[in-house]
């Protein structure tokens, strides 16, 4: 009975250390997410694109010059 409890405790400790190590390796990914470019939505077609590639006019974002010239699209999306 004592051997069984010993093995259960050993396996539980191994699982705990493995989860702790795995959780520590996941934290660098969150720093990369903070450096991600913000996304905006085209007011004409609704497609999402990085803000640095979008065209802005009067607090509206557009994906192309043609959509900028057409203006905002329907609001039912």
**Residue 31: per-residue pLDDT:** 62
Domain encompassing residue 26:
1-36
In-domain check, residue 19:
yes
* Structure tokens belonging to residue 66: 């043609």
CA 18, 19, 24, 28 torsion-angle sign? positive
**Residue 30: per-residue pLDDT:** 59
User: Residues 23, 52: one domain?
Assistant: no
Q: How many domains does the chain have?
A: 2
pLDDT tens-place string over residues 5-60: 999 999 999 999 999 888 766 555 556 667 788 999 999 999 999 999 999 998 89
User: Residues 27, 2: one domain?
Assistant: yes
**Residue 27: per-residue pLDDT:** 56
In-domain check, residue 75:
no
Judge whether residue 64 has pLDDT over 80. Answer: yes
User: Residues 3, 17: one domain?
Assistant: yes
**Residue 45: per-residue pLDDT:** 92
User: Residues 1, 32: one domain?
Assistant: yes
**Residue 25: per-residue pLDDT:** 63
Q: CB-based contacts of 60: which residues, under 8 Å, 6+ apart? A: 43, 72
In-domain check, residue 5:
yes
């Amino acid at each position: 009975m004592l051997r069984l409890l010993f093995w259960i405790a050993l396996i539980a400790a191994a699982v705990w250390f493995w989860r702790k190590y795995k959780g520590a390796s996941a934290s660098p990914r969150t720093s990369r997410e903070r450096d991600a470019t913000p996304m905006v939505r085209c007011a004409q077609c609704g497609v999402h694109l990085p803000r640095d590639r979008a065209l802005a006019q009067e607090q509206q974002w557009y994906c192309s010059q043609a959509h900028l010239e057409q203006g905002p699209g329907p609001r039912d999306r």
